[in-house]
Amino acid sequence: MDKADVIIIGAGLVGSALAVALDAHGLSAIVVDTADPNVVLAAGFDGRASAIAGAPMRMLDAIGVGRQLAGQGCPIRGIRVSDGLEPGALDFTPPDGEDALGTMVENRVLRAALLAAARNAARVDLRFRTRVTSVERDAAGVRATLDDGSTVAAPLLIGAEGRDSPTRETAGLKVARWTYDHAAMVTSIGHEHAHDNIAYEIFYPAGPFAILPLNDDERGHRSAIVWSVRRDQAPGLMKLGERGYLAEIDRAIGGFLGELAWLGPRSSYPLGFHHAATITAPRLALVGDAAHGIHPIAGQGVNVGFRDVAALVEVLVEGKRLGMDLGDAALLKRYDRWRSLDTFMVAAATDGLTRLFGVPGRTTSAVRRLGLSAVQRAPMVKDRFISEARGEAGATPRLLQGLAI
């Protein structure tokens, strides 16, 4: 197709989810991405895993992607937060009979499911290995010229290319940003004892250390590791051999998973924060990391992007039914207003936690443990945290409730 309801630049997890969700409600999308699908779907491309919260998982079910993930994700039945390995942990466990707090899904599995759904969608035109060379946005609509010489048109352009979004930069949208003195070390491990579907967040002065449950495989029990270290330490840790790296992980874990059996592929990337002052412009909307990027301390990055998707789809579907131009300023203002408070609160919370637990010293550590113990004894406060972790707080879009629009 050369015309559609929207043009989406970026076919990552958020961009492809948006295209599939729009198709499920009768709207069409042209999706443009420079990536080679054979590369991004290769087993070794991305060793990360994402903790998909309960509400975004309901959205994936509602748009038909959940059934492709059946049996491939590991439910998170509880979360344990601690200040180092000291006593005084904070436990989050849903009441009996309630859904899991989230599901750990390997990124390669999630990406494959989303792209398969997009390829099978009747109203999604996927254009990989393609670059947008120029964009015109005016009262008549959006026209994008691609590097193969073709031109595509739509009432609305959506930037979904990630943290360094050229679409956002070209539009001149202002962004608050800073870098952390942290790098995230990501891998997976095999271990002797079962994880019992518990996710662990251990806070050290150098940064948080997360142990996230994965499904067992033929090798036995396994978990994903997201380990924040000082940025200057990352190169040296990446040079360690497997035995040395496992020894460092075992020291951080404290041995409660038993003997560590094997180490998966390792990667490292610098951590930073950015937050766009506004996520819309004339005939333009941003979603996912193009709009906001946060510290992975609470595992909310892709979940915030999926919440963008749910809100934007609801706004556009309702606008279409009313016969409105999908690039209408009133629709975009509604989307911006709907998402601005939620994204700001999540960003502020993750940044605050990063700074709070990064303060060294025995006194501050004792105060933090006292705070964790106080929350542990406050069921209403814990319930609020659980609601936030599931993505159920605030004005929840219908897709996040598992409902069609």
Name the band, by pLDDT with cuts 50, 70 and 90, for residue 124: very high
CATH class, range 6-74+105-177+272-361 = alpha beta
pLDDT at 351 over 80: no
Average pLDDT over residues 101-124: 94
pLDDT at 145 over 60: yes
Average pLDDT over residues 368-393: 54
Name the band, by pLDDT with cuts 50, 70 and 90, for residue 65: very high
Average pLDDT over residues 65-80: 90
User: Residue 177's pLDDT is what?
Assistant: 83
User: Residue 181's pLDDT is what?
Assistant: 80
What are the residue ranges spanned by the domains of the chain? Answer: 6-74+105-177+272-361
- 212 three-state secondary structure: strand
Average pLDDT over residues 360-365: 52
Report the mean per-residue pLDDT for the chain.
86
Predicted TM-score (pTM) of the model is 0.89
Name the band, by pLDDT with cuts 50, 70 and 90, for residue 116: very high
Average pLDDT over residues 83-109: 78
Distance between CA 213 and CA 103 in Å, rounded?
A: 9
Name the band, by pLDDT with cuts 50, 70 and 90, for residue 370: very low
User: Residue 367's pLDDT is what?
Assistant: 47
Summarize pLDDT for 183-224 with one digit per residue, the tens: 889 999 999 999 999 999 888 877 789 999 999 999 999 999
pLDDT at 90 over 80: no
Summarize pLDDT for 265-312 with one digit per residue, the tens: 899 988 887 889 899 999 999 999 999 877 665 556 689 899 999 999
